[in-house]
Structure 1
């Protein structure tokens, strides 16, 4: 059986999303001054996005615990992750920040990670069985 065919695939992807958001958000909150110096990104940007990521991780974890998974909410996560990826690229393209190469890599790594998660969530959502009710 393919990993994509597993009935738990989507739930595992949601847990990966929550874990990656929590790890990145906690790092940005706890290490903001140090990361700002290493990445040449503003502390307020790191703290603000870090706080958002920690809260988002909680939401995704809560959704991953629902039985059945709420399809509209998971679809919203797909859109949110794609939006985050676009926002990361737009931030770099805008010139609003001037990160060094490591900072550019940090932002692009986030964009790539959430784009992959969005694709995996979308794949899992399409393959997940539909149940009656709002889910």
Structure 2
């Protein structure tokens, strides 16, 4: 397994921290934010639960500092899939969030997209250093 650049390790750790915080807020606040966001409590809760293994993986990789390229690529793809799913939640016919809910979903999707882009940069730096 190739060593990851310091930059990529920091990006993965930051993604883990932000995703972990978001997951805890979604799990703990699903019932409280339902009316404000106009999103089903179950969607918020289970999206938060889904982040737990993702956050664990990110933190483990950042700590160890080594991972196969395909695993980092899978993390990047997962982040972009989260963005696509978020856009569906914000604008698709299935959920109908409030305006504040749309803004919230789009904002978190933008943050996830930035992490994916930073991870692409980090992967390139790690590959160039190898």
> TM exceeds 0.5?
yes
| Higher RCO structure, 1 or 2 (CA under 8 Å, sep 6+) | 2
Return structure 1 stretches of 4+ with deviation > 4 angstroms: none
Structure 1 distance, partners of 2:94, 2:65, is 42
Aligned to 2:10: 12
Deviation at 1:66, TM superposition (A): 2.1
Aligned to 1:89: 87
Is contact 1:63–1:70 with CA below 8 Å preserved after alignment?
no
Aligned to 1:124: 122
Aligned to 1:100: 98
SS in 2 for 1:69: coil
1:59 aligns with 2:52: no
Is contact 1:85–1:115 with CA below 8 Å preserved after alignment?
yes
Structure 2 distance, partners of 1:55, 1:37, is 28
Structure 2 distance, partners of 1:103, 1:55, is 25
The aligned length equals 124
Match of 1:38 among 33, 36, 39: 36
SS in 1 for 2:97: coil
The RMSD of aligned alpha carbons is: 1.2
Is contact 1:91–1:97 with CA below 8 Å preserved after alignment?
yes
Structure 2 distance, partners of 1:67, 1:11, is 6
Q: Which protein has the bigger helix share?
A: 2
Deviation at 1:109, TM superposition (A): 1.2
Deviation at 1:84, TM superposition (A): 0.7
Is contact 1:36–1:43 with CA below 8 Å preserved after alignment?
yes
State TM-score, norm by structure 1: 0.86
Deviates more, 1:90-99 or 1:32-41: 90-99
